[in-house]
Amino acid sequence: MSPQVLLRSAGAVAAATLLAASAEPLGWWAAAPAGAGVLAVCVHGAGGRLGSLLGFVTGTAWSVLLVPWLAAVGLSAWVVTSVAVGVFVGLTGAAMSLVARWPGWPVWVAVVWVLGEEVWSRVPLGGFPWPRLAWSAVDAPWAGWLALVGVPGTSMVVFLSGSFAAWVATMTVRRLRCPLRRPRARAAGALGTAGVSATLLSAPLLWPPASLGSGWVADAETFTVAVVQGGVPGDGTQLAAHHREVTDRLAEATVGIGRTGGTVRPVADGGVPIAPDLVLWPENSTAVDPGADADVRADLVRASAAVDAPVLVGTIEDGPRTGTAVNLTRVWRDGHDVGRAYVKRHLVPFGEYVPWRDLFRTLGVGRVDEVPRDMLPGGDQGPFGVAGTHVGLLICFDVAHDDAVRAAIDGGAELLAVQTSNATFTGTRQLNQQLVITRARALETGRAVVVAATTGVSAVIAPDGSVVSRSEDSGRAVLVEDVPLVRDKTAAAAAGPLVVPSAAALLSLSALWRRARVARLGRTSRVRRPRASR
């Protein structure tokens, strides 16, 4: 392996380290554009094969550092997911190395990157949207881009700022090779890096989006939500073994809300008891079908009868076919099951279903026996009406997928509610990483988001992405807060869905134009070629 390949590969590892550092638990948001810039430098001037290798190294190392919590599911899950991400980032790296030859290459590598993000967020098996640059922007000065252009657009902006810096760096190095131009090169490099990248990233500070202003919620109606976190006995990871006690804890906490009326803050500190408009339980509040289990149904009847508000219960029900199940939310009110509200759209492979079950059973690999039946996904679902408002429901990983969030907002959701069960990952960085993703969705949509988790992190998030309140540990917690109901749409709601198709169209048109131009220049050179003298 040549020294150049080794040097570029080391740069790819450095890029991955920076990208991982931009996420929780470190949350160094400045590391995201820096990592993008390092990767851009690495692929610039590399061929397609080397570009794919550099992308694979970056993607694999990034995923290894980002999601070690997958080892709680199984070491194979961590390894396979990291390699799969590496493959897709490798394909992206190959494409980036090709467009890095074009004029204006910092723009084109950013376009390719956002298209790559879209691919690995969708495929295979529903995709894995955890590695995205936009999540790092939540606490950054450029967080306003989320409200302007959404998650895909923010990823492009972050990468573009890094690739611009990379372009200036490469130009500076080239000019430094000429001694007569060193002073000018240094000045150009400093001004270019500071000017282009800083202006790009700080644009939302200069022109802040309306959804981050005080007027966004000034006239909004308020809605009181009680978020209930029951906790899991022991170390918090064995939900299945204690599922009846989990349901019982949630019921007891809800009955307590009914007795006290719920408080925004302790009465001793001046809080005034208030009755919630909605009570939110986590995903997997019941691990068995309430219709087939009298004890669980009794808990739900008792809890929903104790509060004068609908209770959204995450439950598992038997599917329409033998060997299937459904992960869904049901509405309980006044001791009665009012009906189904939402079915989880994005399921976790080998956690909630086993793809190609017969093949994996034959090969003797995978978690076939640990997942005895397959969950069935829900289709396109808009918000549902409850307590006089439209609530957009998302279950666990749905919050990381663009299509589920867009369906809720396009359907008129005034509030987003996330139910999640992260008991398997108790004590890992996954909990805070998912909270950051949820905060990004609040910024993107301009909606308040309430999160109910089995063992944390439960939270109430304002439309500007700030955390109003959150559970402090994995034990029992009840959060009662007033949240605004917002009907207006952010710019991102309109622009966000257009980013990826526009990027794909722009890249395709540019490639076609370049191909036609090369062909035209080839014909011209043949016409002008002088005849050989005899």
Q: Which residues are catalytic?
A: 283, 344, 396
Do strands 324-333 and 278-280 pair parallel, antiparallel, or not at all (unpaired)?
unpaired
Question: What does each C-alpha distance from 518 to 94, 236, 476, 514, 525 come to in angstroms?
Answer: 21, 62, 66, 6, 11
Could you give the CA distance from residue 396 to residue 325 in angstroms, rounded to a whole number?
17
Instruction: Please give the Cα distance from 449 to 132 (Å, whole number).
Output: 20
E-strand ranges in 193-352 read 221-229, 278-280, 311-318, 324-333, 336-343
Q: Are residues 201 and 157 in contact, defined by beta-carbon separation less than 8 angstroms?
A: yes
CA dist., res. 262 & res. 226, Å (int): 8
Omega prior to 68 cis, within 30 of 0: no
Beta-bridge partners for 451 = 418, 459
Q: For 194, list phi and psi in degrees, rounded to 5.
A: -65, -40
Tokens (6 digits) for 338: 């009012």
Here the tokens at position 111 are 């376009």
Give CA–CA dist 110/101, Å, rounded: 14
Backbone angles phi, psi at 299, to 5 degrees: -60, -40
Which residue, 54, 55, 50, 11, is CA-closest to 170? 11
Provide the token pair at 268. 């001793």
The residues, ordered by sequence, that sit 6+ positions from 171 with a Cβ below 8 Å of its Cβ are 185, 188, 189, 192
For residue 507, how many other CB atoms are within 10 A of its CB? 18
Is there a contact between 273 and 265 (Cβ–Cβ < 8 Å)?
no
Q: Which residues pair with 263 in a beta bridge?
A: 273
Q: Which residues of 71-101 are buried (b: 16+ CB within 10 A; e: fewer)?
A: ebbeeebbeebbebbbbbbbbbbbbbbbbbe
Distances (CA, A) of 261 to 193, 224, 476, 480: 56, 11, 18, 10
Rounded Cα–Cα distance for residues 163 and 191 (Å): 15
Handedness of CA 281, 287, 292, 294 (dihedral sign): negative
Q: How many CA atoms lie within 13 A of 360 on its CB side?
A: 14
CA distances from 8 to 4, 20, 53, 62, 357 (A): 6, 18, 10, 16, 40
Residue 43: DSSP 8-state: H
**Cβ neighbours around 269 below 10 Å, total:** 8
